[in-house]
Amino acid sequence: MKKTNNQMLVIFGASGDLTARKLIPALFNLYVAKQLPKNFVVLGASRSDLTDEEFRDKVVNKSRYLKAKLDDLKENFIKGFTDMFFYEDLGGDYTSEYSGLSKRISKLNIAHGTDNNYMFYLSTPPNLYETIAKNLSEVGLSSQQEGWKRLIVEKPFGYSLESAKKLNSGLQQYFKEPQIYRIDHYLGKETVQNLLVTRFSNSIFEPLWNRNYIHHVEITNAESGGVEKRGGYYDKSGALRDMFQNHLLQIVSLVVMEPPIGDQPEEIRNEKVKALKSLRIMRDEKTLFDNTIRAQYVASEINGEKVKGYREEDGVDPDSTTETYAAVKFFVDNWRWHGVPFYVRTAKRMPTKVTEIVIHFQPPHHQIFRDSGASSKDNKLIIRIQPDEGVLIKFGVKVPGQGFKVERANLDFYYSSLAETYVMEAYERLLLDAMQGDATLYARADEVEAAWEFVDPILDYWKNGKDVRMYGYAAGVWGPENGDELIDDLGTWRNPGENLADDPGFCVIC
Ligand SMILES: NC(=O)C1=CN([C@@H]2O[C@H](COP(=O)(O)OP(=O)(O)OC[C@H]3O[C@@H](n4cnc5c(N)ncnc54)[C@H](OP(=O)(O)O)[C@@H]3O)[C@@H](O)[C@H]2O)C=CC1
Ligand SMILES: O=C1O[C@H](COP(=O)(O)O)[C@@H](O)[C@H](O)[C@H]1O
């Protein structure tokens, strides 16, 4: 069991959505599970004019998640939680000097015995990250002479390769790379981590994990929701930046990577970087045209309810060319994966919320049961990241009786069958790791840059390419028909829990 030192968590942007929806509930779960250190303080910092009491009130009252739990808990238990919270008004903006903040931190440190160990969580608009790091450094709050200092940074880590490099070097002027924790909440998901264990702690999968046995790899991230209240942010981002560049390429790196020499953070991260650097970058327009598809959802009805199209959403430009669906086919240029196509798609307003990896194995070289129902697509390994987290194996079996009729069977493991095991929420797991100084599940600067290097040409083509198209799909279906064209030499995408409405797939900006 790793040790969690006494410490203070300072959250910049403490009055925001992420703090209320993710960070506070995660801290609360850690508190209930007695995982927080003996001496622990949370100092919220924002421009809003709040007292400690008002902040505490907001922290507990604003969290719908906590409200549901609070009814079951004793009042003094809850008070113990809220008493850990304090608030510092940064007075106007985040750019003025931090001597007031620094004094408050010192005072709380002495009063609560947090041993000069400070974790700074940047949950503000990203254009403030570098300024906050600079201001902290100027008042000595990045120095590790006494106690450790860590900086957790929220995505987006840049908007392009160039801006990611600028952000990384900007932060590294004030904090050393090992002090910087770039959070990618997909890495905190239990089944994403389980990929490493499935691959490297079993001898039955790894011998097959290569071009000789794997035909192709498919990764789907589907959300049934639209852009909700984040239209303004999303319209400047799009599916490729919002999900693909970070979460999905992180998953790809875990599928592709070579076995690390051990389980230490740098051993694993070094292999992930190598994996990301081996993705074949698409440079010419023809390759980009043939291997990438973008689309937007348009107004439709889902279960009898009218649903807005993307361009009608609040905060979205009515002429927006931002994609809510992105599908990319690519290859990995290394010994293990030569010639194996990867198909990765992500979208909002799909029929269901699901994320899964499907490893399609090669068909048998000589299929003697072809006429008895055996299919060349029988063998699949499905790693279900969410929901119903688990690992599923699909294979062919003989139907009892005369002859050799073949049908498909499943060997399925679901995490829910481990009823005794408490599965931590992603933010809970990641916060605890950072508190313990374990950066394994955080993205390193070179990983982020390698991912942008792959994504940048696609973004550039989608913005400036000659023949580039934007397709439409009715909200609530599995994307545009053209999405299937990408994979059509292999059939169709696996649409889990399929509920496919009639969808012609049409072009809104051809
Ligand atoms: N919400 C989410 O689900 C996710 C968010 N993120 C990232 O986390 C960060 C925070 O996101 P989120 O909490 O949603 O954002 P919000 O807009 O809800 O909150 C941002 C906070 O930053 C403060 N702030 C300081 N300067 C500004 C400014 N110029 N404009 C707006 N707010 C400012 C605001 O507090 P005050 O006005 O009091 O200073 C506010 O509390 C962002 O970088 C976002 O990309 C990443 C993944 C998911
Ligand atoms: O980072 C993001 O992730 C969410 C999806 O996360 P999940 O854990 O619910 O799968 C996505 O909705 C959001 O647009 C994106 O910014």
Sort strands 406-414 and 442-443 into parallel, antiparallel or unpaired. Answer: unpaired
CA proximity to 323, closest of 440, 216, 241: 241
Point out the ligand nearest to the CA of residue 387: 2
Query: CA separation (Å) from 284 to 273, 324, 329, 461, 465?
Result: 24, 24, 14, 9, 10
Atom of ligand 1 nearest to the CA of 156: 45
Long-range contacts of 93-97 (CB under 8 A, 24+ apart): 93/47, 94/12, 94/47, 94/124, 94/128, 94/131, 94/132, 94/135, 95/128, 95/131, 95/135, 97/135, 97/138, 97/139
Q: Which residues form ligand 1's pocket by a CB distance below 6 Å? A: 13, 15-18, 46-48, 94, 123-126, 128, 154-156
Query: Does pTM surpass 0.90?
Result: yes
In whole angstroms, give the CA distance from residue 392 to residue 95: 51
Which of 18, 21, 122, 228 most suits a substitution to test ligand 1, by most atoms within 8 Å of the C-beta?
A: 18
Identify the CATH number of the domain defined by range 187-509.
3.30.360.10
Atom of ligand 1 nearest to the CA of 90: 39
In whole angstroms, give the CA distance from residue 263 to residue 364: 35
In whole angstroms, give the CA distance from residue 67 to residue 246: 32
Residue 292, H or E segment = strand 292-298
Closest residue (by CA) to atom 7 of ligand 2? 186
Domain 7-154 = CATH 1.10.1520.10: no
Catalytic residue numbers read: 247
Sorted by where each begins, the domain ranges of the chain are 7-154, 187-509
Angle of helix 265-277 versus helix 445-464 axis, rounded to 10? 20
Q: Are 461 and 468 in contact (CB under 8 A)?
A: yes
Domains 7-154 and 187-509 share a fold: no
CA proximity to 477, closest of 244, 237, 296, 247: 296
Q: Are 448 and 158 in contact (CB under 8 A)?
A: yes
Query: CA separation (Å) from 304 to 191, 255, 301, 321, 480?
Result: 34, 39, 6, 28, 21
Closest residue (by CA) to atom 29 of ligand 1? 125
ipTM exceeding the 0.85 mark? yes
Q: How far is the CA of 348 from the centre of ligand 1 (A)?
A: 22
Closest residue (by CA) to atom 12 of ligand 2? 223
Task: Provide the residue-wise pLDDT of the chain in tens; the chain has 510 residues.
Answer: 788 999 999 999 998 889 988 999 999 999 988 999 999 999 999 988 899 999 998 876 666 666 666 666 666 677 888 999 999 998 766 667 788 999 999 999 999 999 999 999 999 999 999 999 999 999 999 999 999 999 999 999 999 999 999 999 999 999 999 999 999 999 999 888 899 999 999 999 999 999 999 999 999 999 999 999 899 999 999 999 999 999 999 999 999 999 999 999 999 999 999 999 999 999 999 999 999 999 999 999 998 999 999 999 999 999 999 999 999 999 999 999 999 999 999 999 999 999 999 999 998 888 888 787 777 677 999 999 998 888 999 988 989 998 888 888 889 998 888 877 777 889 999 999 999 999 999 999 999 999 999 999 999 999 999 989 999 999 999 999 888 888 866 778 888 764 333 223 333 333
